[in-house]
Amino acid sequence: MATTLPSTLGALRASEYTPARLARSVKDELRDNLIARLRSRAGVESAVPLFPGIVGYEDTVVPQIVNAVLSKHNFILLGLRGQAKSRILRSLTTLLDAQSPYVAGSELRDNPYAPLSKFSKDLIAKMGDETPIAWMSPDDRYVEKLATPDVTVADLVGDIDPIKAARSNQDLGSELTMHYGLLPRANRGIFCINEVPDLAGKIQVALFNIMQEGDVQIKGYPVRLALDVAIVFSANPEDYTARGKIVTPLKDRIGSEIRTHYPENINEGIAITQQEAWTKRGGELKVEIPTYIRQVVEQIAFSAREDKKVDKRSGVSQRLPISTMELVVSNAERRALIHGESVAVPRIGDIYAALPGISGKIELEYEGEMRGADVVIREIIRGAVATIFDEYFTGTNTQQIEQWFNLGGTVALTDEFSATTSQDELKQIQGLFEKLSPLQINSKSKPEIAVSAAEFLLEGMYAHKRISRSEERTFTAAEKKQRNNDAANYAEKMREREIERDDYKNRTRRGFN
């Protein structure tokens, strides 16, 4: 049975929430709870991650965050977009106590044993042990602000509120007329500023006192609020260093500078996308995503990050494979619903259909802009398919399939055809399905799965220019071989004409003689 939390100051004094326990600062609380969690994980192989939902940072970013918390530092996360900076900072709340008491009605969420605001001091002096107590959850103790150029000192720190003064019949100099900003309201919690370089210089200066001396002053009145707050920041490295938008004294007051990064390998990327993408749609239609589809989608992001036509300073967000995978599944879902199929299996063609979700996630350099976003993205997808194709079919001899196309064979794989119809079309290609053994495909495989695998093989051959494909997804013989055949036919015709001319000359010469 759940224990009822104290609702008055008197009941609080009689509980386990002693003055000594509540005297801990937020940074001490974070440190103590982190130490307890680290000790509980010692020697446990399957321990719950320190920061659930954060993948790929176990040996890089997480140890640095642990060191910063143990050092009681204010710290900043530097990283490109889509590197889970905000998620990491929000997950710090897992290191806070499950419940924390404060004086009910207090804007500063005052410690009942050591109130800061005049409101709480007057209330306790008036009501004593009957002072009402409210409780904060860890999420209540996290305050976040996105830095924008229009943020003011009043937004962050506070200002005098003339309307409050008029309504309460107080002098403007009274502490009761003050409107507290986000920082004071984050008292006894964590305050996060995202994209801190976008703050104006004078706003950054306003953070000096709270970070060094631990207090703020509002509008020049002799009111000092010794706030208890842990401050964390996030920023893009380009803004933080190259553009000089952060004032040096503020940078000097940040205890730790921690750099995030994109997934270091395909498997980490797949794990993140699988965790974040909405692919479990529910309902009667079942969705089965082949492993090679997941790999290709993830490889697109890796290839884009290395492509010279893509802006490296902007980066390629991890949101790209997430949104791409959702669109891929949706296109497969749409096809299955149209044809009344019971299972939706994504194909490589669905990745091309997800192009609108990719184009918004990539910033191009001048060369890429000149070529056009669609052209660049199609090249990236084609390269990603070729890379993953090589992992499965490096030793596969595809000459029999190529020969079928060279003899004039064509096959169309579009959403207009059901999986069964497409499978019947593909069966015309001699040796095709026998080559799909690396994908664990056999004659008993579902048509939807078999067609997806066969299309992957054909797309890989197309990526390596062994066969050709139109934008309408009709596969034909390779253009190069077709040109060679045309050239050979032309040469043969020229030889025939040469023979005819020689023969004509000889006959003419004999007739003249």
Contact 237, 79 (CB under 8 A): yes
Report domain extents, the chain.
9-259, 266-477
Residue 164 has pLDDT above 80, yes or no: no
- Report the 3 state secondary structure along 444-492: CCCHHHHHHHHHHHHHHHHHCCCEEECCCCEEEECHHHHHHHHHHHHHH
Query: What does the pLDDT average to over 192-220?
Result: 81
Asked if 456 and 433 touch (Cβ cutoff 8 Å), the reply is: no
CA dihedral (394, 397, 403, 404) in degrees, to 10, reads: -90
Which is higher by pLDDT, 225 or 457?
Answer: 457
Q: What is the mean pLDDT of residues 144-169?
A: 78
For 283-288, what is the mean pLDDT?
92
Architecture of domain 9-259: 3-Layer(aba) Sandwich (3.40)
- pLDDT confidence of residue 426: 94
Q: Give tens-digit pLDDT for 244-285.
A: 478 888 888 899 999 999 999 999 999 999 999 999 988 889
Which pair of structure tokens corresponds to residue 192? 């996060």
Instruction: Give the model's pLDDT for residue 297.
Output: 97
Distances in whole angstroms, Cα of residue 167 to Cα of each of 119, 123, 238: 16, 19, 47
Task: Tell me how far apart the alpha carbons of residues 155 and 445 are, in angstroms, rounded to a whole number.
Answer: 62
pLDDT digits over 381-420, tens only? 999 999 999 999 998 999 999 999 999 999 999 999 999 9
In this prediction, residue 209 carries a pLDDT of 77
Is the separation of the CB atoms in 436 and 460 below 8 Å? no
> What's the pLDDT tens digit per position in 215-247?
777 766 667 788 899 999 999 887 665 444 788
- Alpha carbons 513 and 500: distance in angstroms, whole number: 20
* pLDDT on residue 313: 81
**Residue 419: CA count within 13 A, CB half-sphere:** 24
Distances from the Cα of 219 to the Cα of 118, 153, 180, angstroms = 17, 9, 11
What does the buried/exposed string (b/e) look like for 118-136 if buried means 16 or more CB atoms within 10 Å of the residue's CB?
ebbeebbeeeeeebebbeb
Gap between the Cα atoms of 241 and 245, Å rounded: 8
The pLDDT assigned to 242 comes to: 46
Whole-number Cα distances in Å, 22 to 26, 136, 138, 209, 231: 10, 13, 15, 23, 19
Q: pLDDT tens across 294-348, in order?
A: 999 999 999 999 999 998 888 899 999 999 999 999 999 999 999 999 999 999 9
- How many Cβ atoms from other residues are within 10 Å of residue 91's Cβ? 18
Residue 140, pLDDT > 50, answer yes
The Cα–Cα gap between 180 and 449 comes to: 60
Q: Which two tokens stand for residue 160?
A: 């005098």
Note whether 411 and 429 are within 8 A (CB): yes
| Amino acid (one-letter) located at 317 | S
Alpha helices in 128-207 (DSSP H): 153-156, 162-168, 182-185, 201-205
The residue type at 15: S
State residue 496's pLDDT score: 61
Q: Stretch 436-460: mean pLDDT, rounded?
A: 93
**Residue position matching structure tokens 């013989």:** 477
Distances 220 to 157, 227, 390 between C-alpha atoms, Å: 12, 17, 68
Average pLDDT over the chain, rounded to whole? Answer: 87
pLDDT at 166: 58
Q: Which token pair is 4? A: 């009822």
Among residues 157, 232, 230, which one has the least CA distance to residue 194? 232
Residue 513's pLDDT is what?
Answer: 44
